[in-house]
Structure 1
């Protein structure tokens, strides 16, 4: 989370786009920026799991058997002018890559809301969610800072025992065994290339700059590792 905020700051100050894919080494809850960390947050199979608060909004994500991405876009990029279009711009290349592997994922197309939003993001519905056989397998959320945007998303691959109501993409596929770990590892490369092509952005892999690394370490120490950040009940 600290790295993603550091990359957002680079979008603000240096007008650069960044795409990052990662997985989590243990089941972890990431709270949406505006979510309260009480009540439903403490009840359910996920009780007691490590948790962190994201910079982006939306419902909590259970990061377990999934792929997480962050994409940052500066204020001077055309997509920063229309945040809803940014969801589509990132999600459509993912649809195309999965279709090439015989996985016909599509946009939900309609939104639904309830009087009390479920704690977990995958219990909520937005028209730009990606679904497979009617089940949500990818959702995203955003945060704007001085015109720049960070967009987070989670591609659910397999059901977690901590959220058994939400099947992952590979739980819904016949002969799922043909989608090997090698296939999963190649997805991030394929996704990155497809997004780069769709957005007409040069694809350059690399590490954080020294400035980004230092900023991320500072944010981790002073913000994201602090109980006051993760556990606060009211967001401002």
Structure 2
């Protein structure tokens, strides 16, 4: 796909927010705030990557069914928080994963087409690391499974062996789009089984060496470079300012009875 065919918007420069670790509630507030700001014309398109300060379960915006036991889950003596995402989909256990987030606009067509135009940078980035990915094909039956990684829809990316590496979800507000997704880099069998009552899916063996004890810097570098190529843009690295933090932290969390 040529760069000028991928993301059609008037911005040649995107904001890149450096890797940030925070609670699930804060991360979801940041994503919502960035979408609102971009929709209002106050922010350019944004790419960011983040991790979760502690094991957390994120629920899709419209998800109504999940085990009551999730309200009392603990791991290593600490409660496992539940947060609601502004996007759809099923529950994700965030523990050892890396999350990506894109906020942009100017994309037209069916939702599936938009997913795939944004996911192009993920496919290209992982190809540069030696992993070929393809889209899932699960139908609407996925709504009956509370576990996002229990099925693979056309919004998800699998390895050639069928391992689900990335699960994504999306929200459109007018012409503005928020898409974020969980990239599985490590697994924690005991907690996964405790949450979902099933064995942890096989972990993809990655043909890349970690930087220190983490794959995250290598993955972020590859995906950032592929985003430049796929979207035909350059990045301006800009952390969140003190004023932006004040606005983000003032946002109330999404309620669990959201309609």
Which of the five TM-score ranges fits, normalised by the shorter chain? 0.7 to 0.9
How big is each residue's C-alpha offset from its partner over 1:72-93, in whole Å with a ceiling of 9 and x where there is no partner?
A: 113xx1x255432332123222
Report the equivalent of 1:188: 220
Distance 2:88 2:171 in 1: 6
Counterpart pick for 1:121 among 133, 141, 148: 148
Q: 1:150-189: CA deviations, max 9, x gaps? A: 1111111122232243436xx3317x68445354312112
Partner of 2:53: 25
Structure 2 CA distance for partners of 1:39 and 1:90, relative to 1, 3 Å: closer
Could you say if the C-alpha distance between residues 64 and 45 of structure 1 is closer, same or farther in structure 2, counting changes exceeding 3 Å?
Answer: farther
What is the aligned residue count? 219
- Please tell me whether the aligned partners of residues 122 and 166 of structure 1 are also in contact (alpha carbons under 8 angstroms): no
Contact 1:22/1:68, CA 8 A, preserved across alignment: yes
Give me the whole-angstrom Cα distance separating, in 2, the residues matched to 1:189 and 1:71: 15
Q: Runs of 5+ in structure 1 lacking a partner?
A: none
Matched, 1:87 2:149: no
Given that 2:39 and 2:175 are in contact with CA atoms closer than 8 Å, whether structure 1 keeps it comes out as: yes
Residue of structure 1 equivalent to 2:201: 167
Is residue 112–residue 124 contact of structure 1 (8 Å, CA) maintained in 2? no
Deviation at 1:192, TM superposition (A): 1.7
Q: Describe how 1:60-209 pairs up with structure 2 within 5 A.
A: 60-74=91-105, 77=106, 79-108=107-136, 110-114=137-141, 117-132=144-159, 133-161=161-189, 162-164=191-193, 165-167=199-201, 171-173=203-205, 178-180=209-211, 181=213, 183-209=215-241
Q: Which has the higher strand share?
A: 2
Aligned partners of 2:139, 2:118: CA distance in 1, in Å?
21
**Structure 2 CA distance, aligned partners of 1:210 and 1:83?**
35
- 8 Å CA contact 1:80–1:149 kept in 2: the answer is no
1:123 is displaced (CA, Å) by: 1.2
Offset from partner CA, 1:174-226 (integer Å, 9 cap, x none): 7x68445354312112212211221122211112255533321111xxx11xx
4+ residue runs over 6 A deviation: none
Please, which of 90, 99, 108 is the counterpart of residue 59 of structure 1? 90
Indicate how the Cα distance of structure 1 residues 192 and 44 shifts in structure 2: closer, same or farther if over 3 A, else same.
same
Cα deviation digits, residues 19-60 of structure 1 (max 9, x gap): 110011211011111112x54353599675211111111111
**Is contact 1:140-1:152 (8 Å) kept?**
yes
Q: CA RMSD in A?
A: 2.7
Looking at structure 2, the residues matched to 50 and 193 of structure 1 have their Cα atoms a distance apart, in angstroms, of 33
State which drifts further: 19-28 or 46-55.
Answer: 46-55
CA distance in 2, matches of 1:46, 1:159: 18
Which structure dedicates a bigger proportion of its chain to helix? 1
1:116: how far off? Answer: 5.6
- The 1:212/1:167 distance shift into structure 2, 3 A limit, reads same
